Amino acid sequence: MLETNAAWAEQAPGLGGPARPSRGTAVVACMDARMDVYRLLGLVPGEAHVIRNAGGVVTDDVLRSLAISQHVLGTREVVLVHHTRCGLAGADEAAFADQVEQAAGQRPPWPMRAFADVDDDVRESVRLVRESPYLLAAEVRGTVYDVDSGRLRTVV
Ligand SMILES: [Zn+2]
């Protein structure tokens, strides 16, 4: 990876520029390795914040990042990207906590945030962003990306 980076840095044009995302957009997406968030949304560096975690769920830390994105760096639109065949769909919270405890010796204090239905989870995430007292809930979109077809579908 370091060698790839060295070669890339040699030929990368026009890096740097302002930190403020030029499209005024923050994306919250699952960390799934099959999702190239920039390419599937047609974004290039400099245009949007991309905040990722397992499930693309709205945690306190996502709200922290969105608050910085909006109040410090001027974004106004939030796009949530969940996806089909997510590892958190139908996952077993207790089994995961058991697994962590057995492997690492400590039971995690936070939930895995498994969900039953991806559309319901997108709606819940949109609600959490809209109802956060720290955010400007101007425009919030919830979508589901199909990892097989590459298509993005709007839920809300
Ligand atoms: Zn996922």
5 in a structural domain: no
**pLDDT at residue 42 tops 90:** yes
Please give the pLDDT value at position 97. Answer: 98
8 in a structural domain: no
> CA 123: distance to chain centroid?
14
Interval between CA 101 and ligand 1 midpoint (Å): 22
Please give the pLDDT value at position 24. Answer: 97
DSSP 46-109: TSEEEEEEGGG---HHHHHHHHHHHHTT---EEEEEEETT-TTBT--HHHHHHHHHHHHSS--S
Interval between CA 140 and ligand 1 midpoint (Å): 19
**pLDDT at residue 138 tops 80:** no
**pLDDT at residue 15 tops 90:** no
Q: pTM, whole model, 2 decimals?
A: 0.95
Interval between CA 54 and ligand 1 midpoint (Å): 6
Interval between CA 139 and ligand 1 midpoint (Å): 23
Span 51-72, average pLDDT: 98
**pLDDT at residue 12 tops 90:** no
Interval between CA 85 and ligand 1 midpoint (Å): 7
Interval between CA 93 and ligand 1 midpoint (Å): 15
14 in a structural domain: no
12 in a structural domain: no
The string over 106-118, giving b where at least 16 C-beta atoms fall within 10 Å of a residue's C-beta and e elsewhere, is: eeeeeebbbbeeb
Identify the domain containing residue 27 by its residue range.
21-154
Interval between CA 11 and ligand 1 midpoint (Å): 32
Interval between CA 58 and ligand 1 midpoint (Å): 13
94 in a structural domain: yes
Please give the pLDDT value at position 29. Answer: 98
6 in a structural domain: no
pLDDT digits (tens, 9 = 90+) for 64-122: 999 999 999 999 999 999 999 999 999 999 999 999 999 999 999 999 999 999 999 99
**pLDDT at residue 137 tops 90:** no
2 in a structural domain: no
Interval between CA 92 and ligand 1 midpoint (Å): 15
Please give the pLDDT value at position 3. Answer: 96
CATH code of the domain covering residue 74: 3.40.1050.10
The string over 125-154, giving b where at least 16 C-beta atoms fall within 10 Å of a residue's C-beta and e elsewhere, is: bbebbeebeebeeeebbbbbbebeeeeeee
Query: Can you say whether the dihedral through the CA atoms of 96, 102, 103, 105 is positive or negative?
Result: positive
* Domains held by the chain: number: 1
140 in a structural domain: yes
